[in-house]
Structure formats: structure tokens, C-alpha cells
Amino acid sequence: METDQTVPARADDDEEKLIPEWGVAANDQIIVLGLAVLAVLALIWGWNQWRGGDELPLAVDAPIAASADAPDIDPNLAGAGAVAAVVDGDGDGEEETPATTVAEEPETIVEPEALDLTPDVNAAVSGFGATGSADGDVALLTGFVGTEDDSASAETAAGDVAGIVSVDNQLKVLLPDVTAAMTAAGVGDVAPTMDGTIATAVGVIGNEDEREGAIQAVADVEGVTEVVDRLRALQPDVAKVLEDNGVSGADASVAGTVATVSGTVDSEEDRATVIAEAAAVPGVTEVIDNLTVDNSGTIVSDVNALLELEPIQFATSSTVILAESESTLDTVAEALLASPGLVVEIQGYTDVRGADAANLALSQGRADAVRAYLVAAGVDETTLTSVGYGETTEFAEGETPEALAANRRVQFVQP
């Protein structure tokens, strides 16, 4: 009779089992559970790979079963970023020192702050009167500059700043507006210059009253900070032309670049000379001629010059005009008739021989005789007066025949 050879399991074997109810030896349980853990990790790794991940998780939410050789995991410490603390790792019933492993945070790439180029751009263009700023690598230029050359130079200077790629030039050029303002104010030969925002007004104006208006017109241009006055008034130069040509009652007025000249000249030739010289004043564009020709002074001078050469002859101690002097008086009459309205005084003189009263009466009679001859020749009697001044030495000193003859005369004077 056979006996049963089955050996009953030892009580201490059951005590070493992780799962006492499981009919598998303790050592086999550890192996099976280890393989299960590996399978779970493999499954998780495969899941990460399928979703694009490249790392195994540092912890899982599901608890890992303990084995005799594996440390017990405290599920309260399990989670993202840490491994649970080891609990009773050697089976002696005492909790081991907890240990956690912190997951490394992913590296954060810090982009360097962009440099603010505004100070460099502004410094580069401030010498042109402009204001510069920067938006990243783009320079923005605003404000006012004098000329197109200044604008181009400021743009180049801003573009040369390290880090600037392009320039947005919004500068306002002042020169065209300054030129237009001066032209509208009536300034001639307009030629302003600009030094940054400082305008120099160059040109001609009619008179000093126009200067203030022209300067104010330039100052009113937006962006102009200062005006330098280099304007030249035309009126003094035109007035000097009249003075140099002996125009009597001269008056010169200039509005803008148009000159008006007034006064009296001796002849048409003198008129033409004055007009030509006034028109030649730099800046004058037109001359209005209000001159009057009055050649009376010339006529009187010419008559007296004739009488010096051909003195009027009278009979001795008489007021009778000799026939040889009639042609001379005819010439005088023609000259006076050519200048209607010319008023003259006919003066008579004698030499010093004889009584004073007799000489005074004789000089008056001879002046009256000449006036009568001219009136008979057609000269307007209202324009002629006659006065006797008696004896004189005004024209020659001494009593030589030559001196006596020089002081016996008739002459014409324009009162």
C-alpha cells in the first residue's frame, strides 16, 4: 500500500509569500511580479513613443506591487516629478528613510533683449536739427531740416548706426516754404539760405516799412526757429540816382521792386539818363517816370552866354538899341518862345562914369527897351519884367576900357 508522499508546506514558507493566498512559491511570486512590473513599464514606454514622447515617466499613478526584493512604494508620494518613499524595504517591519528623486525641469531658453537704438540714432541726426528714434532695426527721422542735402545727410547718418537696417525719413525741408513766404511778401531777388532751422533772408525790398513784414513772413514758417535779416532796401539807392543827376524836388519811392521817380530835370536827355540809371539799380524791375522837364534854367544860361559874346549895343548915353544888336535879340526871343511860361527878369547895368542917379535911370531905360523889343517879337509880356540897377563893378574891376565895357550890360535872370 502506497503512502502519500506529499510534504505539507511549511508555515514559514507561507509567511515569506507576498501574497499568501496565491498558490505559488514565494520566490516564484517575486519573479512573476518583477516580470509584471517590467511589462507595465514596457507598455508605458511604448505608449509614450506612440504619442511622440522620448522619456519614460518618472512615476505612475498605479501602485506597483511589492516583492520580497523590491522596495515598497508609498502611493501617497507617487506622482509626477517624484519617486515614492521606500517603505520597509528589508521586511523588518521598520520604515526606511524616505527618498525622493526630483525630475529635472526642461531648460528654458531666454531670448536676449533687443537693444534700444534710439539714443544712437538721435545722436547721429541731432546735428541736422532732426529728431531720431528707432523701432527695432528701423530708424525714424522726424522734425525739420533746412535743405534737401541736410535731409539726405541725416538719412545717411541714421543708416550708418550699427544695427539699423532701414530708415523711415519723415523730415520736413524748410527752404521751399521759406522761399515761397518771401516771394509772397514781395521780396525780390529771393535767395534765402538755411542753417538747420535758422533762416537767412536774402533779397531786396522796396523800403524799410516792407522789411518787418518780410521778416515776419519767414518767421511764421512752421519749423523756422530764427531769422537773420540780410534784406536790402532799394529806395535809398534810387534816391541817390536822383541826387547825383541834380533832379530838383526829387522824390523816389519804391514798392517791392517797382521804383517811382519824381522831380524836375532840365532836358529830355537828363530825363532819359535818370530813368536808365534808376532801372540799373540791382533789384529794380520797373521804373515809373513822373519826372518833369524844365529847361528854363538852361535857356537863361544859354541867353546870357550869347550876350557875353554879343552884348546888346546902345547909342551913347541913350536907351536906343543899335541895329547891329537886333539879330541878337531875335535869337533871345526865339529861345523864350520855345519855353512858354518861362519867367525872366531883364536887368540893366551901367559903368561907374557919370552921376549915380543918371546911371540908375539909364540902366532902367535900357532894360525897358529890351523888354519892349521882345514883346514886339511875340514873347508873352506877363513873363517879362525889367529892372535897372545903375552903375556897378560887379562884372569887372577898374576903369579900363575893357572893365567899363564889361559893366555896361543887359542880362537875364530867372527869379
The predicted-structure confidence for 72-96, as pLDDT tens digits, reads as follows: 545 454 444 444 444 455 555 555 5
Give the percent of the chain with pLDDT over 70. Answer: 78
**pLDDT (0 to 100) of residue 45:** 77
Residue 147 CB contacts under 8 Å (≥ 6 apart), including other chains: 173, 174, 175, 194
State yes or no: pLDDT of 358 exceeds 60: yes
CATH superfamily of 296-413: OmpA-like domain (3.30.1330.60)
Output the average pLDDT for the chain. Answer: 84
pTM for the model stands at: 0.53
Query: 287 or 25, which is more confident?
Result: 287
Each domain of the chain, given as residue ranges in start order, spans 11-87, 118-173, 175-233, 236-293, 296-413
CATH architecture of 175-233: 2-Layer Sandwich (3.30)
Q: Are 378 and 338 in contact (CB under 8 A)?
A: no
**pLDDT (0 to 100) of residue 93:** 56
How large is the average pLDDT for residues 330-357? 93
State yes or no: pLDDT of 200 exceeds 90: yes
| Residue 177 to residue 144: CA distance in whole angstroms | 12
State yes or no: pLDDT of 116 exceeds 50: yes
Residue range 236-293 forms a domain whose CATH class is alpha beta
How large is the average pLDDT for residues 103-114? 64
**pLDDT (0 to 100) of residue 79:** 45
**pLDDT (0 to 100) of residue 31:** 81
Q: Are 265 and 297 in contact (CB under 8 A)?
A: no
Confirm whether 175-233 and 236-293 share one CATH topology: yes
Q: Are 211 and 205 in contact (CB under 8 A)?
A: yes
Query: 108 or 295, which is more confident?
Result: 295
At CB < 8 A and 24+ separation, what contacts does 44-51 make? none
Q: Are 207 and 259 in contact (CB under 8 A)?
A: no
**pLDDT (0 to 100) of residue 61:** 47
- Least confident window among 41-45, 153-157, 225-229, 256-260: 41-45
C-alpha cell at 128: 541736422
Tell me the per-residue pLDDT of 33-50, one tens digit each, with 9 for 90 and over: 778 788 888 888 776 777
Query: 166 or 95, which is more confident?
Result: 166
As a dihedral over the C-alpha atoms of residue 207, residue 208, residue 209, residue 214, rounded to 10 degrees, the angle is 90
Residue 319 CB contacts under 8 Å (≥ 6 apart), including other chains: 362, 365, 366, 368, 369
CA-nearest of 156, 154, 153 to 142 is: 154
Q: Are 213 and 207 in contact (CB under 8 A)?
A: no
Query: 67 or 112, which is more confident?
Result: 112
- Look at the alpha carbons of 118, 123, 125, 128 in this order and tell me if their dihedral is positive or negative: positive
What's the longest Cα–Cα distance across the chain? 222
State yes or no: pLDDT of 66 exceeds 50: no
